[in-house]
A = this chain, B = another copy of it.
Amino acid sequence: MQVVVLLFEGITALDAIGPYEVLARVPDVDVRFAARTPGLIHSATHSPLTLVADYALDDAPRPDILVVPGGPGQAVVCGDETVLNWIRSAHASTRWTTSVCTGALLLGAAGILRGVRATTHWMSLDALREFGAEPVSQRVVVTGKIITSAGVSAGIDMALQLVALAWGEQSAQMIQLGLEYDPRPPFNVGHPDKAPAALVDRILAAKTRSRR
């Protein structure tokens, strides 16, 4: 089984590494990191973190499982027909096509979310409508072979659910215990439905400022 994780400049690292850490632990899975231009990939503007894409997109044309992460760089990739064509073409033969965070917008831009119930980072849920998708505020959304997940950290939950679907619950449980995934968030503010309104407003204001 081949898993391909798409990398691009300005990716959010945890979007990619969360699912990677889960999927790489499935026996006999071949995980590949692929990008339009292979080599060093910087995780976000001025970020100190560099990942490496070992494969060009053409060298990973037919993944069984496609993982599309998000991140600030997603907006640029949404206009890159080379990458969108690759997503479209890979999706035609995947067993599972998945996204984390705003990676869902890339699936949308590739045209594969029309009429599909899907999720993404809470700040971008509305944007899914532009691509004909039906936004759902849910941690992980499975619609046929398309699995989308919420913001950044949700990729871990998504990948565990995917392992359960593709290899069985026992495999997923082994990996969950191996990663000691027994989360204890220090605050109960991880979703806007739970967070104080002032906190949500502060984040939205910061986002608006950064767009100017």
Contacts and interface: CB of A to CB of B under 8 A. Distances in A.
Contacts of A139: 182, 184
DSSP majority for the A interface? mixed
A124 to B, nearest CB: 10
Given A33-B48, A47-B24, A195 B177 contact: yes
Interface in A112-128: 121-122
Q: Which of A140, A184, A199 has the most CB of B within 10 A?
A: A184
A76 to B, nearest CB: 20
Contacts of A14: 17-18, 20-21, 179
Interface of A: 12-14, 17-18, 20-21, 24, 30-33, 40, 47-52, 54, 101, 121-122, 139-140, 150-154, 156-157, 160-161, 164, 169-170, 172-174, 176-187, 189-192, 194-195, 199-200, 202-203
Given A51-B51, A173-B199, 7 more contacts: A17-B49, A24-B48, A153-B183, A164-B187, A174-B203, A177-B189, A177-B203
